[in-house]
Amino acid sequence: MTPKIELIGISKRFGRKVVLDELNLSVMPGESLVVIGGSGTGKSVMLKCILGLLRPDEGQVLVDGQDVTRLRGRARTAYRSRFGMLFQGGALFDSLSVWRNITFAMTQGRRGNARQRDLAIELLQKVGLDAAVADLRPSELSGGMQKRVALARAIAAKPEIIFFDEPTTGLDPIRADVINDLIVSLVRDLGITALTITHDMASARKIAHRVAMLYNGKIIWDGPRDLIHSSGNPYVDQFVNGRAEGPIKTGQLVR
């Protein structure tokens, strides 16, 4: 079977700093892959390379077997319509109300109609928020609520692939679990392909089919979720058990 997303030898440098170093990774259709790794190991950079927000210095990104690394103009816009992305900080547009944020992919910042507003409210309920927040501004919401609105925005246009950049960071354990359930149901019921970045191991255990660990710009381990505690890899062991002592030196983490 052709992987939904395949990264082949992706390298990305910022100045002299090598962030991704010939990284290889693939995600199968309908699979939920979780990428774990320390803060600043280039997880977000990897997602941005796939979305074309950053151009990798070397390597190829294949989606459904097609090279999308050099897409331009309309082809690239059409390509992006297949993706939804939940940004780490939410990245809601603070000049627009919550419901216009959620429906942005459809309205493209234009006024929007009652039908779209209803859709926004439906999505708000899905992420565990009240319809009353629809007309508020993002700045009037707490951080956790912003995150859930951002999640509603990411899934609004029914994309086939969704990227979650730390979906549960900043949420209490109960609300985090609501988000985890939602991601699981998106994958199971709608058949989307999910690529999640997190260092929340509880979340990873719940939503992942497969887990990959990014370290020093490479994927150093990759296996089914159930093997994560018996990976035999000292780096993975240290990370999943959250130990300060081990082969990963905190001073070594590259940004």
Partner 1 sequence: MQTLLKDLLSVLIRIGSVVLAGLGAVGRLAQFTGRAVGRAVLPPYYPARLVEQMLIIGYFSLPVVGLTALFTGAALAQQIFVGGSRFNAESTVPAVTVIAIVRELGPVLGGLMVAGRVSSAMAAELGTMRVTEQIDALTTLRTDPYQYLIAPRLLAALIVMPLLVLVSNVIGVFGGYLIGTERLGFNAANYLSITSQYLEGDDVTSSMVKAAVFGFIIALMGCYNGFHSSGGAAGVGRATTNAVVSAFILILLANLIITVLVFGS
- In whole angstroms, give the CA distance from residue 78 to residue 168: 29
Asked if residue 44 lies in contact with residue 197, where contact means CB atoms within 8 angstroms, the answer is yes
The H or E element that residue 149 is part of is helix 143-156
* Min CB(165)–partner 1 separation in Å: 9
* Min CB(129)–partner 1 separation in Å: 19
Closest to partner 1 by CB, 24 or 81: 81
Do the strands 193-197 and 161-165 form a parallel or antiparallel pair, or are they unpaired? parallel
* Min CB(51)–partner 1 separation in Å: 6
- Which amino acid is it at 232? G
* Min CB(164)–partner 1 separation in Å: 13
DSSP symbols for 162-203? EEEESTTTTS-HHHHHHHHHHHHHHHHHH--EEEEE-S-HHH
- In whole angstroms, give the CA distance from residue 3 to residue 102: 29
Closest to partner 1 by CB, 56 or 213: 56
Record the tokens describing residue 241, joined without a space: 């058990």
Packing angle between helix 173-190 and helix 143-156, nearest 10 degrees? 10
Q: Which residues bind partner 1 (CB under 8 A)?
A: 48, 51, 53, 77, 80-81, 83-85, 87-89, 91-94, 104-105, 108-111, 153, 157
Asked if residue 149 lies in contact with residue 87, where contact means CB atoms within 8 angstroms, the answer is no
The H or E element that residue 104 is part of is helix 104-107
Summarize the chain as % helix, strand, coil (round to 5): 40, 25, 35
Closest to partner 1 by CB, 69 or 233: 69
Closest to partner 1 by CB, 49 or 248: 49
* Min CB(93)–partner 1 separation in Å: 6
Among candidate residues 231, 178, 191, the one with its CA nearest the CA of residue 4: 191
* Min CB(72)–partner 1 separation in Å: 12
* Min CB(231)–partner 1 separation in Å: 32
